[in-house]
Amino acid sequence: MVAGGEVKGNIYYLNEYAAKRLNLKIEKKIKGKELVGLKYISPFDGLSGIKKALGKYEHEVVATDEKILPVSEEEGTGLVHVAPGAGSEDYKLGKKLDLPVIELVDEEAAYISDLGEFSGKNAKKHPEIILDYLKENPEYLFDIVPYTHRYPACWRCKTELVWRVVDEWYIAMEPLREPLKKVTQKINWLPKFGLKREIDWLDNMHDWLISKKRYWGLALPIWECSQCGHFEVIGSKDELREKALEGWEKFDGNSPHRPWVDEVKIKCEKCGKKMQRIPDVGNPWLDAGIVPFSTVSTDNKSEPLYWKDKGEWEKWYPADFITESFPGQFKNWFYSLLAMSTVLENSEPFKTVLGFATLLGEDGRPMHKSWGNSIEFNEGADKIGVDVMRWMYVRQDPSLNLLFGYKVADETRR
């Protein structure tokens, strides 16, 4: 229920509880849905960056989706403002309702360009600049009061976080879904249920998120034109050398990582302007998945046989056997191997895979020092005896979790 009432000559529509809390004189009550569709203006609409981001869109009262953004009557101002560029629930609701996303801050939480007096100032260090702006534009300001609320922080170092929208890079997987499933079926999966788990993953997979906002790591070989947005994926060092406009001499002789690889600029074939490598690094599973092609060489370090001598390479491909603990791998290593081999050769990267379960404490929980169920290897070997330990491992059914501890060891010894 929404209440409408007059203060200082203005009529406000607020959640009823908030209106009572603020001691407003309530003129009438209406249902929230009666407001849906009303247009409104916002204090920041004059900034050129906002105008550009909004385009033809006009601010409008929307109905929430309780599953995405539940609205509570007990707290807040009685008005919920949805900012799809500034919070995950807002972003999800914005996606559903097709609302424009306004990018506001950079990696340092400084306001980006085209935001008038805000540009270049830090949103986290100077939250007061928003309040100052509203004080200068009092037609948008009702009141300023201190308010305690939850705020997200880094779980590791407790630094307060600022939410921002970023672009990420994906590989479109839909065209690969059926070819990947065919290749997967050619493999001997041990245990047998591995096949079903992998097919389940492939049936439900979305596009593959391959970028990470980090400095160190696999530098994605994607060059982008800041002028027209055209991008190009570079396939080799030779291709990069041929296309290099500048910076090759700074890169040459170094590994293809930051900062050296970023020195190389190439020419945009659409508009002729300079293209720069994107700052993102790649998901490590890209590296893990390309192993059958990238690392098989005559001496494990020179040019891959896949390029140098494909006939010789074929003798080593597919691998007869791979093994890895399976929790997680159906969507990580097994998946990335399958994806790369399906794209490059449309064949299976390995003939047989033995996936094994994991090791837990004998109480069935993961081992943690704080839970008292973890056993340090040397201490375990001394107390249990290495032959008993070996027997515990070799008789284990690899499809089941191995429960490890002194009681289980005593039973094994008998």
- Out of 227, 295, 298, 325, the only residue in the binding site for Zn ion (CB under 5 A) is 227
Would you tell me how many other CB atoms lie within 10 Å of the CB of residue 337?
A: 24
CB of 268 to Zn ion, least distance (A): 3
Applying CB under 5 A, the span of 159-167, 176-184, 358-366, 386-394 interacting with Zn ion comes to 159-167
Task: With beta carbons less than 8 A apart as the criterion, state whether 273 and 227 touch.
Answer: yes
8-37 b/e (C-beta count within 10 Å ≥ 16 → b): eeeebbbbbbbbeebebeeeeeeeeeebee
CB of 125 to Zn ion, least distance (A): 17
Nearer to Zn ion, 227 or 298 (CB): 227
CB of 269 to Zn ion, least distance (A): 8
Applying CB under 5 A, the span of 136-144, 157-165, 195-203, 342-350 interacting with Zn ion comes to 157-165
- The answer for residues whose C-beta is within 8 angstroms of residue 390's C-beta and 6 or more apart is none
Query: Which helix (H) or strand (E) segment is 292 a member of?
Result: helix 291-294
Nearer to Zn ion, 96 or 267 (CB): 267
- Out of 144, 145, 154, 166, the only residue in the binding site for Zn ion (CB under 5 A) is 154
Pairing relationship of beta strands 281-282 and 211-212 according to DSSP bridges: antiparallel
Q: Should residue 109 be labelled a site residue for Zn ion when binding is judged by CB under 5 A?
A: no
- Tell me, by CB under 5 A, how many residues bind Zn ion: 12
- Out of 63, 271, 381, 400, the only residue in the binding site for Zn ion (CB under 5 A) is 271
Nearer to Zn ion, 145 or 154 (CB): 154
Q: Should residue 268 be labelled a site residue for Zn ion when binding is judged by CB under 5 A?
A: yes
CB of 227 to Zn ion, least distance (A): 5
Task: With beta carbons less than 8 A apart as the criterion, state whether 250 and 263 touch.
Answer: yes
Q: Should residue 225 be labelled a site residue for Zn ion when binding is judged by CB under 5 A?
A: yes
Nearer to Zn ion, 147 or 155 (CB): 155
CB of 223 to Zn ion, least distance (A): 10
How far apart are alpha carbons 238 and 248 in whole angstroms?
11
Token look-up 């993961």 returns 366
- Out of 59, 164, 212, 230, the only residue in the binding site for Zn ion (CB under 5 A) is 230
CB of 324 to Zn ion, least distance (A): 30
Q: Which of residues 339-378 bind Zn ion (CB under 5 A)?
A: none
Closest CA to 310 of 349, 347, 345, 351: 345
Task: List, in sequence order, every residue forming a beta bridge with 222; answer none if it has no partner.
Answer: 233
The sheet carrying 319-325 orders its strands as: 188-190, 350-356, 319-325
Tell me, what DSSP letter sits at residue 118? G
Nearer to Zn ion, 159 or 378 (CB): 159
- Out of 156, 301, 315, 395, the only residue in the binding site for Zn ion (CB under 5 A) is 156
Applying CB under 5 A, the span of 147-155, 240-248, 358-366, 387-395 interacting with Zn ion comes to 147-155
Q: Should residue 59 be labelled a site residue for Zn ion when binding is judged by CB under 5 A?
A: no
Q: Should residue 257 be labelled a site residue for Zn ion when binding is judged by CB under 5 A?
A: no
Nearer to Zn ion, 150 or 301 (CB): 150
Task: With beta carbons less than 8 A apart as the criterion, state whether 343 and 296 touch.
Answer: no
Nearer to Zn ion, 38 or 271 (CB): 271
- The answer for residues whose C-beta is within 8 angstroms of residue 18's C-beta and 6 or more apart is 73, 76, 77, 78, 79
Applying CB under 5 A, the span of 32-40, 206-214, 265-273, 378-386 interacting with Zn ion comes to 265-273
- The answer for residues whose C-beta is within 8 angstroms of residue 335's C-beta and 6 or more apart is 198, 201, 202, 205, 285, 289, 329
Q: Should residue 266 be labelled a site residue for Zn ion when binding is judged by CB under 5 A?
A: no
**Three-state DSSP class for residue 56:** coil
Q: Max alpha carbon distance in the chain (Å)?
A: 88
- Judged by the rule CB under 5 A, the positions of this chain that interact with Zn ion are 154, 156-157, 159, 225, 227-228, 230, 268, 270-271, 273
